[in-house]
């Protein structure tokens, strides 16, 4: 895959250190899939999906700038900047192109990537995400960042848990809920605020009509953060896209329903016309 080390760090063109992992198939002919995580979390949200996919595809996961093990450098964030980071990371690992899937914030970045680097996106998975949060979004997202500064992230984590996961999942998998909460609590407040502003300002709608690749739109039935109506907008705006509503799931479907997300992504890869390698 153009990279001997399955994980590591690289620096973007503006010097930001990005931490990444390569896993799955090492077959040079395997379909390639890049996965982008959601706000204030990290690449670990995809662990269950990666496990389900096994060796059937080559997988790239990474921590977006300001998140996880990547450099905590706050600044003027945009979805297009995050998309450029992915393009440069793909250059680093020797991937000319890939299918790209993102959850929530990651879905916004995926849309920007497909819009700015159309030749490099072979398919798109948009999970629990939106193209635009609405006219009031700039103010609302900055208010959310303000709450984090005044109350602290500790004061927000219980609310986040109820948005991320359904009642049954929280009861049955407290260890996973705690792990996600720990990642959330480890965030840098300046980077969190910069990412909130990015999401509030993001408007990916102009990119949607030009998307001619296979696109799978997936949303949790009980997703209150990016509700079904936002997924339906994406589906209507992207010609030929599919829409799947996951019964009972909330906002972190890759964590809550990894088997279903993996199945949807494999189907997306099949729609792209490139066979995945057989799982051993």
- Helix (H/G/I), strand (E/B), else coil: 148: helix
- Give the whole-angstrom CA distance, residue 215 versus residue 127: 11
CA distance 21 to 5: 9
Domain-embedded: residue 108: yes
Say if 278 falls within a structural domain. Answer: no
User: Residues 108-162: pLDDT tens digits?
Assistant: 999 999 999 999 999 999 999 999 999 999 999 999 999 999 999 999 999 999 9
Report strand pairing: 32-36 vs 58-62.
Answer: parallel
Domain count, the chain: 1
Confidence check: pLDDT of 280 > 80: no
Whether 212 is in a domain gets the answer: yes
* Dist. CA 101–CA 122, nearest whole Å: 11
Contact 151, 276 (CB under 8 A): no
Here the tokens at position 110 are 């995926």
Flag whether 208 is in a domain: yes
In a domain, 55, yes or no: yes
Contact of 205 with 147, CB cutoff 8 Å: no
Does 91 fall in a domain? Answer: yes
Alpha helix positions (H), the chain: 47-53, 79-93, 105-116, 137-151, 157-164, 167-172, 174-185, 189-201, 228-237, 253-256, 258-271
Q: Give the structural domain span for 207.
A: 7-131+203-271
pLDDT digits (tens, 9 = 90+) for 237-268: 999 999 999 999 999 999 999 999 999 999 99
pLDDT band, residue 273 (cuts 50/70/90): low
What would the mean pLDDT of 10-18 be, rounded to a whole number? 98
CATH code assigned at 41: 3.40.50.1820
Asked if residue 187 belongs to a domain, the reply is no
Give the tokens for residue 112: 């920007």
3-class state of residue 69 by DSSP: coil
Question: How far is it, in rounded angstroms, from Cα 56 to Cα 157?
Answer: 35
235 near 131, Cβ under 8 Å?
no
With 60 as the cut, is the pLDDT of residue 24 above it?
Answer: yes
Q: What is the pLDDT of residue 93?
A: 96
DSSP state letters, 184-222: HHT--HHHHHHHHHHHHH-B-GGGGGG--S-EEEEEETT
Please answer whether residues 217 and 234 qualify as being in contact, where contact means their C-beta atoms are separated by less than 8 angstroms: yes
Q: DSSP label at 128? A: S
On whether residue 178 sits in a domain, the answer given is no
């Amino acid at each position: 895959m153009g990279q001997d080390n399955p994980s590591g760090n690289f620096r973007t063109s503006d010097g930001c250190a990005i931490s990444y992992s390569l896993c799955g198939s090492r077959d040079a002919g395997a379909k390639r899939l890049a996965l982008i995580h959601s706000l204030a979390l990290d690449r670990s949200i995809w662990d269950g999906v990666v496990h389900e996919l096994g060796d059937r595809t080559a997988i790239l996961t990474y921590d977006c700038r300001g998140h996880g093990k990547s450099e905590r450098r706050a600044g003027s964030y945009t979805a297009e900047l995050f998309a450029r980071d992915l393009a440069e990371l793909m250059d680093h690992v020797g991937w000319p192109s890939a299918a790209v899937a993102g959850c929530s914030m990651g879905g916004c970045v995926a849309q920007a990537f497909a819009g700015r680097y159309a030749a490099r996106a072979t398919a798109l998975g948009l999970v629990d995400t939106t193209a635009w949060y609405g006219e009031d979004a700039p103010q609302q997202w900055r208010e959310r960042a303000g709450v984090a500064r005044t109350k602290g992230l500790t004061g927000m984590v219980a609310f986040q848990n109820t948005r991320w996961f359904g009642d049954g999942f929280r009861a049955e998998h407290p260890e996973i809920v705690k792990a996600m909460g720990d990642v959330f609590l480890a965030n840098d407040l300046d980077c969190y605020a910069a990412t909130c502003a990015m999401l509030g300002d993001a408007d990916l709608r102009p990119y949607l009509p030009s998307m001619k690749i296979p696109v799978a739109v997936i949303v949790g039935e009980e997703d209150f953060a990016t509700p079904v109506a936002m997924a339906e907008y994406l589906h209507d705006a992207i010609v030929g896209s599919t829409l799947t509503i996951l019964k009972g799931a909330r906002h972190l479907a890759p964590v809550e329903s990894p088997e279903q997300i993996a199945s949807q992504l494999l189907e997306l890869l099949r729609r792209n016309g490139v066979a995945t390698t057989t799982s051993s």
